[in-house]
Amino acid sequence: MSPRFFVNTSGGLAISVRTEGDDKNVTCILIHGLADGMFVWANLFDSLASHCGVVGLDLRGHGNSGWHANRDYSIDAYVTDLVEVIGDLNLEKFILIGHSLGGIIATEVAKMDSRVVGLVLVDAGPADPGYSAIIRQRVQEGFRGFDSKDEYRDWLTEGRPLATDSALRMLVEHSLADDGSVFRPRCDPAVALASIEHDEKWWLAALSKCSIPTLVVRGAGSAFISQKIQSKMLSVLKRGTGSTVPASGHSIVTDNLEGLVRVIKPFVLALTVGQ
């Protein structure tokens, strides 16, 4: 595993970044979801690194990245950070892979940057507002603090019932911070308070203008992105492909990352081979 480093943004934040693999002119950029971190992509890093460059980052307020002094966790702020990381790394062509919140950020960047050659939306799209509220509430509950790692694992299991044992161990190991009295998720509690959802009208308008190959992935048991919504997204995409990962809900990256890798890898290879 390559060491992590920091990219200092013009806004004064240090964004934690990891790079892996052989660039070969095309790089995959992995963007995690709300209250997660780049660590959730570990197996995808390993799977793709022999075929292309791979970049992961902790979004502002998450993981090892800095917390914003005024708690600005808007989509525009996340996008600005990512654009600056891309500039710092001098990337020429890249595929954006985003889960949930990460998919919104990826779509926003794809709208403005001609260097994006592919887009992967992992259970990201115009989610059911009720379910989005449930996710936010769940994230906020996590900041109450836990007396032990075992207590945190039990709480995680309630919210991610399909998560594998290895994924739960990974989450406990990488997502917790110990302040000396209790364990809390390693991110700013304010990340769960920002307005980050886009409605169906925005999504369909954005995707209808998207001309690059786009893979729309949903978890088979996801209540966040339904089959109907996935079909609507695909209906407006010029070069869209849909896939469903079995044995997973919204949190595909912790429910069935191996299944997700099997879906994403062929899409990435088709865009990187011969580049």
Residue-wise pLDDT tens digits, 13-59:
999 999 998 766 899 999 999 999 999 998 899 899 988 999 999 99
The topology under which CATH files domain 4-272 is Rossmann fold (3.40.50)
Per-residue tokens: 49: 């690194």
HEC profile for 110-145?
Answer: HHHCCCEEEEEEECCCCCCHHHHHHHHHHHHHHHHC
Domain residue spans in the chain? 4-272
Whole-number Å distance between alpha carbons of 53 and 79: 20
- In tens, the pLDDT along 60-89 reads 999 999 999 999 999 999 999 999 999 999
Per-residue tokens: 181: 């009295």
Whole-number Å distance between alpha carbons of 70 and 112: 26
The pLDDT score that the predictor gives to residue 132 is 82
- Parallel, antiparallel, or unpaired for β 53-57 and 14-20? antiparallel
Nearest partner of 118 among 273, 274, 231, 272, judged by Cα: 272
Whole-number Å distance between alpha carbons of 230 and 123: 9
Which residues are 207's β-sheet partners?
none
- In tens, the pLDDT along 151-191 reads 999 999 998 999 999 999 999 999 999 888 899 999 999 99
With a CB cutoff of 8 Å and minimum separation 6, the contacts of 227 are 218, 244
- In tens, the pLDDT along 236-275 reads 999 999 999 999 999 999 999 999 999 999 999 999 875 5
Whole-number Å distance between alpha carbons of 58 and 38: 5
